[in-house]
Structure 1
Amino acid sequence: MSHMLEQLLRQAESKTLEFKRDLSSPRNLLKTLIAFANTAGGRVLIGISDHKQVVGVSDPLADEERICNLIADSISPRLIPNVELVSSGEHTLLILEVFPSNSRPHYLNTLGPDQGVYIRLGSSNRQAGPDLIAEMRRTAMGIVFDEMPMQELSESDVDLIAASRLFGTQHPLDHKTLTTLKLLRQEQGRLVPTHGAILLFGKDRIQHFPDAWIQCARFRGLDKVDIFDQAEIHAHLPEAVTSIEQFLQKHAFKTAQFGAMRRQDIWSIPISILREAIVNALVHSDYSQRGTPIRIAFFDDRIDIESPGLLLPGMTIEDMKNGVSRIRNPVIARIFRELGLIEQWGSGIKRIFSEAQKQGLPEPRITEIATGLRLSIYVQKTAPIMTSSLTNEQVSKQVREQASAYLSDRARIMLRLCSVQPASKAELLSAAKLSNAYMNYKRHIIPLVEQGLLELTIPDRPQSPFQRYRSTVLGQHFLGMDMPSLPNETGRQDLPGNQQK
């Protein structure tokens, strides 16, 4: 037996490997070959029993000719796999190897191009729907979905005010910059937004992409039977990162470690890993698919992040673990990179696995599901959840009560500054050693206002250039409780939004 055959027989059936005893079910074999060609390629070994014993084929040359004729007559566009006869003792096997095809989508002629397209999902074949077929056609032609123009829309459909706020005054978003970033495209003598622009900053994104939002939920236990809290996030995609983090943090708790100079806050969930996973989902989701949003499910032992869209052709889960990356949405990825939400191209998943190992967590798990990919991040411990049945209003009250009365270092600095005299947004951020950027304002100042710890000096004109912030009575009370946060029986946490950047 050859070394290659020994290696293959040690493996289980997978996205790229299948075993067949004989050619008694040629239709299923043809579906597998089509699925391999449309997905990541693969090998079929014919002459292997259900118990993975080598039984060989009865007439190797005749079977080789038969399978080649079946493929030629049954599959379109034309598919030419490598067919090899391999000897193993007194037996002879047929090994068919299919490579990812640039002529996809291939389909079964008897079912036609709309019903006969198959893809590989784990170790099984799945019939592709119209969205997946369209995506395969685009990728085969080199067309990128988020770069495609939306000719029925105009520049006014993009929230350029929000985009400019995120980029800051040092990066003005003029027409040249917007075109370079491929947020706008010249079509028939006028500038129109791309899919990426509307997904990122569309004023009415849901009208055009009804499933481009994020569903967050906290469940009791290890499955989706008993839901405790949920939220729908419709923010612009770059801002959704913080909104998702805040949802997760309000259901976690924080302890403190004290070093020689200062304390270090330790969350019960791996914040840095989750942030990487959240960004990865927002950047790589297939927004052309209909029927499912991005889903974040927080269980007692893990956090599942489900993103629509199967792996791009030629990619496998092992490729992802090894750091191989292909960008599905280059426009969205470029904007996330420009805003500092992506640190290094193509290293996210590998960094997630590496960081989990460093933190002593179980290895994350990537699973291909019917709608796309699920990334499971395991946690060491989570905040206990009360078991009574609660209304939404009671849930919100309980979550607020679970927020800790003890503030992060930056929050204390800002509250103390405002307790002396009112301070501007720029002064608060500077005191906390943060840049005067909108994302820092949203992450560090707005939560203090929402919690009633800071108040505006001109409340009826929030955007006034003379706006200042001052500590409330409640804020002064929290400052008086200036002590390290400790976990208790209710799993208390720091106030949402006061995390270190």
Structure 2
Amino acid sequence: MPETNRIEYKRELNIDVDIEKEVIAFLNYHEGGVIYIGIDKTGNVVGVSDAEGDALKIKDRIKNNISPSAMGLFDVVVEERKGKEIVKITVASGSEKPYFKKKYGMTDKGCFIRVGTAAEPMPQGIIDKLFATRTRNSIGKIRSNRQDLTFEQLRIYYEEKRKPLNGQFKKSLELLTEDGALNYAAYLLADENGVSIKVAKYRGTNRVDLIENNEYGCCSLIKATKSVLDKIELENRTATQITSKERIDQRLWNPVALREAIINSIVHNDFTREVPPKFEIFADRIEITSAGILPEGLSEEEFFEGVSIPRNRELMRVYRDLELVEQLGSGIPRILESYGKECFRFMDNFTRMTFPASEEVIPQSGLVDGLVDGLVDGLVESQRKIVELVKANPKISKKEMSESIGISTTAIDKHIKRLRDKNILKRVGSNRSGYWELQ
């Protein structure tokens, strides 16, 4: 593939390669772009000798040499192409244009823009215009109404990923305003806040008969996100159909697309309006509604193509650190693999995703009678996995289940309670010396 307005190739990272210039050009470009190190101008893969080392150097240069901060707006990963390692730099379009080299400031020596397949100096007139219209009402610039915030939950999540926070984490994670006060991003990530996310469940296809109304929040947004993911994972049960030839298992909603939708709705929610996203489960669908419309300059076509302009880059950076978000711009394409563009609705002030259920959300007949290969129909996928793990090792611990399935121990406890309530699983003996038994 040749170079395009969104793709730049560099044969190697050497003293002549101005990587800051290329990154700045994409930050200032309305579509962002991708830079490959280890591919020549003709598109031939030549590879790099020290991909990991180059990746670390690039991250350091972007972090220290570009202003405003690009943290949360780029990914640097090592990939393999044709048996050779290359470095891929994904850059999102920034919302605080113009971006520039700190050394030269907002001049034509420091500001660049993508023109065709090249990074060109930005005319001073455009620099001045962009600066005058720069987005200032962001969660990173808004002062928190509370300055007595604590972050123990955030510390725990970072320690779980072996990325312990040091004494300067508020500065490094950009949780401070320019004058050193805790900002609104800090408020959202703090142990206590006033933000609560609603997960509601209705018996029918409208909002008349509410049967569940769960609130997750007033805590770190990371903890609230994990609680929402666990709750909807419980709701996303697996239906089983047995034919003469095979057994067919199908979730109510595609789990990959659903997870991406949940994370996207939270990370890209317009929290400056003080309206959190909400999740509503109906008899025939799930609706996910977040505050805010498409970022200025981003068309629906570009949105569906995966062009990313993170609304809350401070949150995006933390969610990526904690591996809740993968590469920039990957969420929407993953959703579209299972659901069409018609599932998205862009309103005047909100964005809504609607995913139809594969069958009725609340089965009228309850659980299907009888066992199928020792399992009860109606279990969600994680519950089936727990049963399989217990069958293989009755003495398995909850921690081992958590690591094997990839969900939290809190979610494991909830699934085990469901299995016990359904008389599928029971504990024999003490927690330390006992074992699990299928009934």
Bin of the TM-score, shorter chain as denominator length: 0.5 to 0.7
Residues 248 and 138 of structure 1, relative CA distance in 2, 3 Å threshold: farther
Match of 1:372 among 333, 350, 373: 350
Partner of 1:179: 171
Tell me if the contact between 2:285 and 2:356 (Cα under 8 Å) persists in the aligned partners.
yes
Within a 5 Å distance, the mapping from 1:196-345 to structure 2 comes to 196-200=185-189, 202-206=190-194, 212-234=195-217, 235-256=219-240, 266-290=250-274, 292-345=275-328
Instruction: Name the larger-Rg structure.
Output: 1
Which letter maps to 2:225? V
> What does residue range 94-173 of structure 1 map to in structure 2 within 5 Å?
140-143=133-136, 145-148=138-141, 150=143, 153-154=146-147, 157-158=149-150, 160-168=151-159, 170-173=162-165
Q: Which SS does the other structure have where 2:296 is aligned?
A: coil
Q: What amino acid is the match of 1:303?
A: I
Question: What is the CA distance between 1:240 and its match in structure 2?
Answer: 3.0
Q: 1:103-149, CA deviations, whole angstroms, 9 ceiling, x for partnerless residues?
A: 9xxxxxxxxxxxxxxxxxxxxxxxxxxxxxxxxx9993343622226
Query: What is the deviation of 1:344?
Result: 1.4
Aligned to 1:484: none
Q: 1:171 to 1:263 in 2, by over 3 A?
A: farther
1:413 aligns with 2:389: yes
Between Structure 1 and Structure 2, how many residues are aligned? 293
Give the aligned residue type for 2:361.
Answer: A
Q: Distance in 2 between matches of 1:281 and 1:138?
A: 28
Relative to structure 1, is the Cα distance of residues 425 and 299 closer, same or farther in structure 2, using a 3 angstrom cutoff? closer
Q: CA RMSD in A?
A: 4.1
Q: How far 1:308 moved relative to its partner?
A: 0.9
Report the TM-score, using the length of structure 1 for normalisation: 0.49
* Distance across 2 between alignment mates of 1:270 and 1:240: 22
- Normalising by the residue count of structure 2, what TM-score does the alignment of the two structures yield? 0.56
Partner Cα separation in structure 2 for residue 288 and residue 344 of structure 1: 25
Q: Distance in 2 between matches of 1:238 and 1:176?
A: 20
CA-to-aligned-CA distance 1:376-413 (integer Å, 9 cap, x gap): 222321333559xxxxxxxxxxxxx9974994224542
Deviation at 1:272, TM superposition (A): 1.3
How far apart, CA to CA, are the structure 1 residues paired with 2:380 and 2:284?
26
Could you tell me the percent identity over the aligned residues? 22
What SS does the corresponding residue of 1:305 show, helix, strand or coil?
strand
Partner Cα separation in structure 2 for residue 218 and residue 151 of structure 1: 32
Larger helix percent:
1
Q: Deviations over 1:406-435 (max 9, x none)?
A: 942245425875x54xx76555556x376x
Stretches of structure 1 lacking an aligned partner (at least 5 in a row): 1-39, 41-101, 104-136, 207-211, 357-361, 388-400, 459-466, 481-501
Asked whether the 8 Å contact 1:301–1:381 carries over to 2, the reply is yes
Residue aligning to 1:443? 411
Q: Which runs of 5+ in 2 are unaligned?
A: 1-29, 31-95, 98-129, 366-375
CA gap 1:317/1:184 in 2 versus in 1, 3 angstroms: same
- Corresponding residue for 1:60? none
Give me the whole-angstrom Cα distance separating, in 2, the residues matched to 1:429 and 1:253: 18
Q: Tell me how far 1:172 sits from its aligned partner.
A: 0.9
CA distance 1:186–1:445, shift in 2 (3 Å)? farther
**Structure 2 CA distance for partners of 1:149 and 1:253, relative to 1, 3 Å:** closer
Question: Take 2:364 and 2:203, find their aligned partners in 1: how far apart are those partners?
Answer: 9
Residues 384/295 of structure 1: CA separation in 2 closer, same or farther (3 Å cut)? same
Q: What is the alpha-carbon distance in structure 2 between the residues aligned to residue 149 and residue 350 of structure 1?
A: 32
Are residues 412 and 285 of structure 1, via their aligned partners in 2, closer, same or farther at CA, if it must alter by over 3 Å?
A: same
After superposition, the Cα gap between the structure-2 partners of 1:446 and 1:404, relative to the gap in structure 1 and judged at 3 Å, is: closer
| Distance in 1 between residues matched to 2:159 and 2:432, nearest whole Å | 20
Could you tell me which amino acid in structure 1 is paired with residue 214 of structure 2? A
